[in-house]
């Protein structure tokens, strides 16, 4: 086999192919993937980033992807030249600072804050939030939970 390493014929060196000679295409690809880091392989065009992957968490937003999870596709939103999933495209909770799924936000009047339902329940119970200030998004269940503790 007339192969070259960095332009030099292998037959001009004192090396010969050993296990490389017997590797399947998959084994060769895995060997290359294991040898270089992602940045190097991206720069050299060995690999590319899935254009349908969420730009926030990297999870697939494409419903045809084998590892696709529903929550990451439903409510995905366009971002730069790709997508943000339903979690990353939402808001950050102003109480616990974790992501809020776009469907589940609770918005508070006057201040434009966003909270998880559980966080809003806690805040109502701790009297840091008035029920009447909730503008949108809190379920009846959550409101009842918040009132329950209130009575005890």
Question: In terms of CB distance, is 85 or 129 closer to Zn ion?
Answer: 85
| Residue 23 near residue 33 (C-beta atoms within 8 A) | no
| Residue 94 near residue 85 (C-beta atoms within 8 A) | no
Compute the distance between CA of residue 43 and CA of residue 28 in angstroms, rounded to an integer: 19
Q: Which of 86, 84, 78 is nearest to 55 (CA)?
A: 84
Q: Give residues 40-69 in contact with Zn ion (rule: CB under 5 A).
A: 54, 56-57
Nearest-approach distance from CB 96 to Zn ion, in angstroms: 3
Which range in 19-27, 28-36, 94-102, 121-129 contacts Zn ion by CB under 5 A? Answer: 94-102
Binder of Zn ion out of 116, 121, 124, 129 (CB under 5 A): 116
Binder of Zn ion out of 53, 88, 121, 123 (CB under 5 A): 88
Nearest-approach distance from CB 3 to Zn ion, in angstroms: 42
Which range in 44-52, 79-87, 130-138, 143-151 contacts Zn ion by CB under 5 A? Answer: 79-87
Question: In terms of CB distance, is 47 or 52 closer to Zn ion?
Answer: 52
Q: Rounded to 5 degrees, what angle do the CA atoms 15, 40, 11 make?
A: 15
Which range in 26-34, 78-86, 121-129, 140-148 contacts Zn ion by CB under 5 A? Answer: 78-86
Query: Is residue 93 a contact point for Zn ion (CB under 5 A)?
Result: yes
Q: Rounded to 5 degrees, what angle do the CA atoms 39, 50, 25 make?
A: 75
Q: Identify the burial level of 108 via C-beta atoms within 10 angstroms of its C-beta, where 0-12 means exposed, 13-18 middle and 19 or more buried.
A: buried
């Amino acid at each position: 086999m007339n192969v070259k390493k960095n332009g030099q014929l292998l037959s001009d060196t004192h090396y010969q192919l050993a296990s490389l000679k017997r590797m399947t295409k998959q084994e060769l690809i895995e060997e290359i993937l294991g040898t270089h880091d992602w940045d190097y392989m991206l720069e050299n065009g060995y690999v590319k980033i899935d254009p349908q992957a969420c730009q926030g968490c990297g999870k697939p937003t494409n419903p045809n992807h084998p590892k696709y999870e529903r929550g990451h596709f439903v409510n995905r939103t366009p971002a730069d030249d790709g997508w943000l999933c339903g979690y990353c495209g939402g808001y950050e909770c102003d109480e616990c600072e974790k992501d809020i799924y776009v469907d589940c936000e609770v918005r508070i009047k006057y201040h434009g804050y966003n909270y998880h339902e559980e966080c809003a329940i806690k805040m109502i119970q701790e009297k840091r939030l008035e029920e009447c200030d909730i503008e949108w998004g809190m379920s009846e269940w959550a409101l009842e939970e918040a009132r329950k503790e209130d009575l005890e």
